[in-house]
């Protein structure tokens, strides 16, 4: 007794069967890529410091008063938007990392999940925001970047401050 319906023999011999299998494989591949990976959006503000020549060294230190003032501005702006300071000892040792902030766990259900890393490398203080699950920056991150750009530009000069999207 023969069953009624479609019978598929492997390997496929008909061009329709090969086309259907190719379509299924492509759809499975695309589904895996789209659903298996959350996008992450980055936005940054950078402040360049002129090198300070002292005892043969031309690099900028996080202990320099100008850097400390900029770090205070960063702290004020990001904490006003609800981010909290992360204990730096709990973060893996990353070259140039000065401090980090993130959305507190209790607010993650209602607010965007934002991370903020502050790095000092090559005479540049970089404030890098990351948002998981976002294709574009949230209003919160855009506002923090704009505020940092305004405050740092007014204090250090607009030519030393850049914003990258």
What is the number of domains present in the chain?
2
Give which of 96, 66, 98 is closest to 85, Cα–Cα. 98
Global pTM?
A: 0.71
Report yes or no on 4 lying in a domain: no
Q: What is the pLDDT of residues 92-148, one digit of tens each?
A: 677 788 888 988 876 666 666 888 889 998 889 999 998 876 667 888 889 999 999
Q: Could you tell me if 34 and 45 lie in one domain?
A: no
CA 71 to chain centre: 19
Residue 57 β-bridge partners = 54
- CATH code for the domain in which residue 66 is found: 3.30.160.110
Q: Which residue has the higher pLDDT, 12 or 64?
A: 64
> Domain span at residue 28?
9-38
d(CA 36, CA 30): 10
Averaged pLDDT, 55-60: 59
Provide φ and ψ at 119, rounded to 5°. Answer: -120, 145
Residue 14 has pLDDT above 70, yes or no: no
- Do both 18 and 97 map to the same domain? no
Query: What's the chain's average pLDDT?
Result: 77
């Amino acid at each position: 007794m023969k069953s009624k319906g479609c019978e598929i023999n492997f390997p496929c011999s008909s061009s329709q069967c090969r086309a259907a299998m190719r379509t299924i494989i492509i759809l499975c591949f695309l589904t895996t890529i789209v659903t298996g990976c959350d996008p992450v959006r980055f936005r940054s503000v950078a402040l360049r410091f002129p090198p300070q020549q002292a005892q043969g060294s031309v690099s900028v230190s996080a202990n320099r008063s100008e850097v400390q003032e900029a770090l205070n501005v960063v702290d004020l702006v990001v904490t006003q938007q609800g981010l909290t300071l992360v204990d730096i000892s709990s973060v893996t040792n990353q070259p140039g990392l000065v401090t980090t902030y993130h959305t507190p766990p209790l607010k993650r259900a209602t607010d965007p999940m934002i991370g903020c890393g502050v790095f000092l490398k090559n005479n540049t203080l970089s404030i890098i925001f990351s948002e998981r699950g976002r294709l574009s920056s949230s209003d919160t991150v855009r506002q923090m970047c704009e505020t940092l750009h305004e405050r740092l530009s007014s204090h250090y000069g607009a030519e030393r401050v850049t914003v990258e999207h």
